[in-house]
Amino acid sequence: MVILDEPFVSEEVKVFLEQSQVPVLDNAFAARAGDGYRFNRVDEAAFSARMAASGETLRLLTVSENSLEWVMRHSRDTAMKDAIALMKDKAAFRRRLAPLYPDFFFREVALDALDSVDPASLPFPCVLKPATGFFSIGVHIVASPQEWHAAVDAIRKQAGQWRKAYPESVVGSTVCIIEEYIEGDEYAIDACYDETGHAVILNIFRHEFASQDDVRDRLYYTSVAVIREHLADFSQWLDAVNRYCGAKRFPVHVEVRIAHDGTIVPVEFNPLRFAGWCCTDLSWFAWGFRTYEYFLNGQKPDWDRILKDRDGRLYTLIVLDKPAGLQVPYRFDDNRLCAVFGKVLHFRNLSRNPHYPVFGFLFTETPENDRGELDAIVKSDLTEFLVPA
């Protein structure tokens, strides 16, 4: 069963829903998104009844965390609701996993009380961010005590902006957490917990940054090397985490860092969905299978078969986030953008919607030994692709 909601659903998901006839909650967004498609739309009462009747076999997936509030109101699955609430509250999640990370520093502070925090009591560098969050919104890496008050001022200003763009259930606006900065490589994982609570990994993305203080979601890639190097360790780690969460038949999008000593440390768990804005479609463009189809059907990837003869290539997801403060009339030149890359797999152009924080998403295939185009795009502010309107 699937719930569609703002801000976006991809054409790839729409095609799957039409072909599979998976039950879709008949809300206003599904009606708009499904215009021209034959979704198996089920009204709210019947959808809720199916959720209750499915019991131990229920597999529920959302494409947006905007739907979590509806799920919490209508689901009778206490274990699922407990897992959602835990994962959405980063401070509560840190407390629950404390036995795995006894020396990890974090502190929960009300937004209005940040001025009372003594920077001398904090480990630097540290991270300041909302206790609930999405899309790296409001995340600040603070390198020194001198930068602390500037970061506090910035997150307060941003709070008003994210309140307008996302509901409170998606991006909290009143509570922040301060935690130690984890040195190491960052990865994103699309996975699910099966009916026994064991992890099934559906894709692994490496998150590349332009610099140490960069927090943007600009560039992710997957490859044979990425999957083979981390599949076993991430699977075991996700199983260890779930001993404290108890999730079953449960999709998650997870962000982690691997510290220099090899310790896997969670950045965040995003419940009941895969990569946001349907960016989980990277598995379709890279590996030829849909994460959501595998989850809903209880399938597990045969990675040995999938990865065969795919060495030497990076399959990328490029998030084309809009420059801050962009106000002048413009047109995004997608032809100029695509010409920069040797092999474009798909361009998801969202630049015509002024309310979206992104111009779109680009999926490419890049030789592993020739990353010049990726090194350039991760540092770009994208203004070279803007044409005056």
| Spatial contact of 36 and 10, defined as CB atoms under 8 Å apart | no
Looking at the 3D structure of the chain, how many domains does it have? 3
Q: Is residue 97 part of a domain?
A: no
Tell me if 42 is assigned to some domain. Answer: yes
Residue 350 lies in a domain: yes
Could you list the pLDDT tens digit for every one of the 389 residues in the chain?
Answer: 999 999 999 999 999 999 999 999 999 999 999 999 999 999 999 999 999 888 778 999 999 999 999 999 999 999 999 999 999 988 899 999 999 999 999 999 998 899 889 999 999 999 998 887 544 567 889 999 999 999 998 888 877 665 555 555 544 457 889 999 988 999 999 999 999 999 999 999 999 998 777 778 899 999 999 999 999 999 999 999 999 999 999 999 999 999 999 999 999 999 999 999 999 999 999 999 999 999 999 999 999 999 999 999 999 999 999 987 777 788 999 999 999 999 999 999 999 898 899 999 999 999 999 999 999 999 999 999 999 87
Rounded Cα distance, 240 and 245, in Å: 9
Q: Is residue 32 part of a domain?
A: yes
Q: How many CA atoms lie within 13 A of 269 on its CB side?
A: 29
pLDDT digits (tens, 9 = 90+) for 230-284: 999 999 999 999 999 999 999 999 999 999 999 999 999 999 999 999 999 999 9
Of 139, 165, 180, the residue at which a domain comes to its end is: 180
For residue 258, CA distances in Å to 21, 66, 92, 188 come to: 40, 29, 21, 11
pLDDT at res. 348: 97
Q: Are residues 143 and 215 in the same domain?
A: no
Residues 141 and 121 in one domain: yes
Domain assignment of residue 353, given as a range: 184-388
Domain boundary among 180, 195, 224: 180
Of 316, 301, 116, residue with least CA distance to 222: 316
| 281 and 240 in a common domain | yes
* CATH code assigned at 207: 3.30.470.20
Which pLDDT belongs to residue 144?
93
Q: Is residue 246 part of a domain?
A: yes
Q: Are residues 73 and 206 in the same domain?
A: no
- Judge if 143 and 44 occupy the same domain: no
Q: What is the pLDDT of residue 164?
A: 55
92 lies in a domain? no
Same domain, yes or no, for 260 and 160? no
* pTM exceeds 0.85, yes or no: yes
Instruction: Examine the domain organization and report whether 131 and 112 are in the same domain.
Output: yes
Same domain, 139 and 271: no
25 phi and psi, to 5 degrees?
A: -60, 130
Whether residues 41 and 130 share a domain: the answer is: no
Query: Do 108 and 175 touch, CB atoms closer than 8 A?
Result: yes
DSSP notation for 102-126: TT--EEEEEGGGGGG--GGGS-SSE
Examine the domain organization and report whether 32 and 151 are in the same domain.
no
Domain boundary among 52, 87, 122: 87
Same domain, 147 and 169: yes
Residue 277 maps to a domain:
yes
Q: Which of 36, 42, 38, 37 has its CA nearest to residue 60?
A: 42
pLDDT tens digit sequence for 167-209: 555 444 578 899 999 889 999 999 999 999 999 999 999 999 9
- Which residue carries 């994208």 as its tokens? 382
- The length of the chain in residues reads 389
Which residues make Cβ contacts (< 8 Å) with residue 328, sequence separation at least 6?
388
Quick check: is 140 in a domain? yes
Q: Are 136 and 72 in contact (CB under 8 A)?
A: no
Report the pLDDT value the prediction gives residue 161, as an integer from 0 to 100: 63
CATH of the domain at 111: 3.30.1490.20
pLDDT at 328: 72
The reply to whether 170 and 272 lie within a common domain is no
